[in-house]
């Protein structure tokens, strides 16, 4: 086999592969669209007039928990000492 025959076979194989992928993806699009038409879409929930529950008081306040500050400070200090 010389180089021209190999190039023709490679081009043929590439063309067959590209066409098969194109056909498969086209078929996949058609199947997804048909399933989307057959299956009814879920309706969006209707907004109720009920008041939403309030967040816990700890989250509502703008103050940071002192224990959290101490834990973060200790972690940063240990990181700086080790690195």
**DSSP string spanning 7-60?**
HHHHHHHHHHHHHHHHHHHHHHHHHHHHHHHHSPPPPPPPPP-PPPPPPPHHHH
Predicted TM-score (pTM) of this structure: 0.46
Give the integer Cα–Cα distance in Å for 51 and 53.
6
Residue 60, pLDDT > 80, answer no
The pLDDT value recorded for residue 63 is: 84
DSSP helix/strand/coil, 45: coil
4-8, 42-46, 76-80: which has the minimum mean pLDDT? 42-46
Percent of the chain with pLDDT over 70: 81
More confident residue, 57 or 26: 26
């Amino acid at each position: 086999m010389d180089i021209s025959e190999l190039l023709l076979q490679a081009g043929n194989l590439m063309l067959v592969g590209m066409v098969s992928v194109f056909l498969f993806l086209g078929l996949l699009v058609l199947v997804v669209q048909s399933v989307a038409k057959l299956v009814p879409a879920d309706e969006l929930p209707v907004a109720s007039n009920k008041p939403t529950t309030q967040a816990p008081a700890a989250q509502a306040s703008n103050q940071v928990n002192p224990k959290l500050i101490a834990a973060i400070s200790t972690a940063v200090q240990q990181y700086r000492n080790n690195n």
